[in-house]
Structure 1
C-alpha cells in the first residue's frame, strides 16, 4: 500500500517469519532485516504488546512498524490488553514520526490464534483511543488477509 507506514505482525525476535511478517520482509528486501538486526543488537528484540519502526526498504511505504501481538492462550493471560497495546504502540510510533497514513494487518489472528471477532473489536477500539493523542495521523487502513476478516471489519466500521 502507498501509505507512510505499514504495520508488520511481527514476532518478538524481529527476524521474519511466515504470513504477513514473511511477506513484508520478502517484498521489502534486506534493508528491513538489517534494521531489525540492529534493533535486536541494541534492544534484544521487541516485547509482546510493543512496536518498533524501521525503513520500508523496497516497499512503497517508507516505514514498517513491527508490532508484536500476543499468542492466544485462552484469554486469561492478558491477551486482550497486549493486543490493544500493540495497536496503540504502533499509532504512537507513527505520531512520533509525524506520519499521516498507516495500514494495519490483522495482528495475532493467524498462526497466533487470537479469535478474529474479538481481535477486530480490540483493534478498532485501541486505534480509536490512540488517535486522540495522534493528531498527525489522517488515515488508518485495516488490510484484511481474507474475506472473513474483511466482513468483520466492514460490519464493525459501517
Structure 2
C-alpha cells in the first residue's frame, strides 16, 4: 500500500472512503466529525442513526454512506479520548486497523485518514503520527492508497517527515 501525506481538507478528498474521527454517540460533533457531517449532509447522520443506534465503541469502526462528499463511503472510528483517561495506545492502533478491515470489506482501494485523536481528544501529535504510520505500514490490507490528511501545515510536516525514508 502506498501511504501519502496530504495537506488539505479531508472532506475534499476524492477517494473511495474517508475516515471520520467520530465520538461514541455517532451523531456528529466538532473537528473532523463535524466537518464530515456538514459536508456530507443529512444522509450521513441518518445512516449513522440507522446503523449505529447504540453508537460505536472506542477503537472500533463502521461505515455509512458519504452523502454529498466526493467519496463513496465514510468509515467512522472512535479514537481514545486522553482527556477522559483513555490512554491505551492499543485503542488508537485499533482505530487504524479496524478502518482498514472495514475498507477491505467494502472493497475500497483508496482511503483518506485524519490524524485520529490528535485534536480535541488530546493525543500527543508526534505519537498520533507514529501510531498512524506504523499501523498503516504493518496491517495487511487490499487498500492500495492511504492518505493521511493534515489540515494545518505543522501537522502535515510531522506526517510527511514520518513517511520519509529516514522517518
TM-score (norm 1): 0.92
- Kindly indicate whether residue 68 of structure 2 is the aligned counterpart of residue 87 of structure 1: no
For 1:33, which of 41, 45, 56 is the aligned residue?
45
- Kindly indicate whether residue 20 of structure 2 is the aligned counterpart of residue 11 of structure 1: no
- Counterparts of 1:61 and 1:81, CA distance in 2: 28
Structure 1 partner of 2:33 = 21
Shift of 1:126: 1.1
Cα deviation code 1:82-113 (max 9, x no counterpart): 00000110000001111100000011011000
- Counterparts of 1:123 and 1:97, CA distance in 2: 21
- Counterparts of 2:90 and 2:120, CA distance in 1: 19
Structure 1 partner of 2:136 = 127
For 1:110, which of 95, 112, 119 is the aligned residue?
119
Cα deviation code 1:125-155 (max 9, x no counterpart): 111122x2x12x1100000021121011111
Q: What RMSD in Å do the two structures reach over aligned CA positions?
A: 1.4
Does the CA-based 8 Å contact 1:7-1:103 persist in structure 2?
Answer: yes
Does the CA-based 8 Å contact 2:83-2:121 persist in structure 1?
Answer: no
Structure 2 partner of 1:58 = 68
Does the CA-based 8 Å contact 1:54-1:65 persist in structure 2?
Answer: yes
Does the CA-based 8 Å contact 1:71-1:79 persist in structure 2?
Answer: no
Shift of 1:40: 2.7
TM-score (norm 2): 0.87
List structure 1 runs of 4+ shifted beyond 2 angstroms: 76-79
- Counterparts of 2:86 and 2:29, CA distance in 1: 24
Does the CA-based 8 Å contact 2:21-2:117 persist in structure 1?
Answer: yes
48 and 79 in structure 1: CA distance in 2 versus 1, 3 angstrom threshold? same
- Counterparts of 1:96 and 1:78, CA distance in 2: 29
Does the CA-based 8 Å contact 1:47-1:68 persist in structure 2?
Answer: yes
Structure 1 partner of 2:109 = 100
5+ residue gaps in structure 1?
A: none
